[in-house]
């Protein structure tokens, strides 16, 4: 696996993979948006407001998924001191924060017409807000050191400690009373959501995932180029 994580090899394969990822992302998001806004039926209780689901739910899944990737990369970076793993974690953070913000605001816009309130301090909403602050805290911590490797180490430790929040988010709707509905797709037994809504939702979710993968590759390539640039400038400085 580490063969593909060598910086030069990474630049090589990610450059080849990128156009395919970008094309697949564009197709899935366009098809998903079309299905979500024009084809999927209105809900028998929620009417057209249910169309918020097609951005809220994929954003919510990505909020947790990206954090999982960030924590796993941080673990690899701490254990094997692999620089590309650090870059993967650091470049995931702003993307995860974006998905979490989208999840929170779209959820609020869905809550007002359906629950009659923009916000409640229950376990699901609060734990996702904590996730958002974990992303922001991670970004701040990584950039708080003059020595980049120390910032990376501190950030990696924070990312790993924050993993405790992920099961709390997932099971908060089962463990505590909440206005939020329980899981209807990733649950034991069959999904409880109608197929006519499930398919547009899954296409949007795969589109969001590929969007994340595409931007992560772009951002990791930028970060590796920046590292190479620093090395070249150091050489110039030493030669002068």
Q: Does 142 bind another protein (CB under 8 A)?
A: no
Q: Round to whole Å and give the CA distance between 47 and 50.
A: 6
Which CB atom, from 48 or from 174, has the smaller least distance to another protein? 48
225 part of the interface to another protein, by CB under 8 A: yes
Q: Which DSSP letter does residue 47 get?
A: B
In the complex with another protein, which residue's Cβ is closer, 78 or 93?
93
Cα-based distances in Å from 122 to 103, 128, 173, 215: 16, 10, 9, 32
With contacts defined by CB under 8 A, how many residues of the chain interact with another protein?
A: 36
Q: Does 215 bind another protein (CB under 8 A)?
A: yes
Q: Does 137 bind another protein (CB under 8 A)?
A: no
Other C-beta atoms closer than 10 Å to the C-beta of 206 total 16
Spell out, one character per residue from 53 to 82, where the chain touches another protein: x when CB under 8 A holds, - when not. --xx--x-----------------------
- Single residue of 31, 72, 75, 94 touching another protein by CB under 8 A: 94
Contacts 24+ apart (CB under 8 A), 137-142: 138/70, 138/93, 138/162, 139/93, 139/94, 139/97, 142/90, 142/93
Cα angle 31, 103, 85 (rounded to 5 degrees) comes to 90
Per CB under 8 A, residues contacting another protein are: 37, 42, 47-49, 51-52, 55-56, 59, 94-95, 98-99, 101-102, 105-106, 109-110, 112-113, 211, 215, 218-219, 221-222, 225-226, 228-229, 232-233, 235-236
């Amino acid at each position: 696996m580490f063969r593909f994580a060598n910086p030069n090899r990474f630049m090589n394969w990610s450059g080849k993979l990128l156009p395919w990822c970008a094309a697949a992302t564009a197709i899935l998001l366009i098809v998903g948006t079309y299905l979500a806004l024009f084809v999927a039926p209105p809900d028998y209780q929620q009417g057209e407001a249910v169309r918020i689901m097609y951005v809220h739910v994929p954003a919510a899944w990505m909020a947790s998924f990206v954090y999982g990737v960030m924590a796993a990369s941080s673990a690899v970076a701490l254990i094997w001191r692999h620089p590309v793993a650090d870059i993967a974690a650091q470049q995931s953070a702003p993307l995860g924060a974006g998905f979490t913000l989208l999840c929170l605001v779209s959820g609020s816009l869905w809550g007002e017409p359906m629950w009659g309130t923009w916000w409640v301090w229950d376990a699901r909403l609060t734990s996702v807000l904590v996730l958002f602050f974990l992303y922001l805290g991670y970004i701040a911590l990584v950039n708080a050191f003059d020595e980049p490797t120390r910032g990376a180490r501190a950030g990696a430790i924070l990312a790993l400690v924050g993993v405790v929040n992920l099961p709390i988010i997932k099971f908060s709707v089962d463990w505590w009373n909440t206005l939020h509905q329980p899981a209807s797709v990733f649950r034991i037994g069959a999904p409880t959501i109608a197929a006519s809504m499930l398919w547009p939702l899954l296409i949007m979710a795969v589109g969001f995932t590929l969007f994340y993968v595409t931007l992560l590759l772009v951002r990791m390539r930028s970060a590796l180029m920046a590292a190479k640039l620093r090395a070249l400038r150091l050489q110039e400085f030493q030669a002068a």
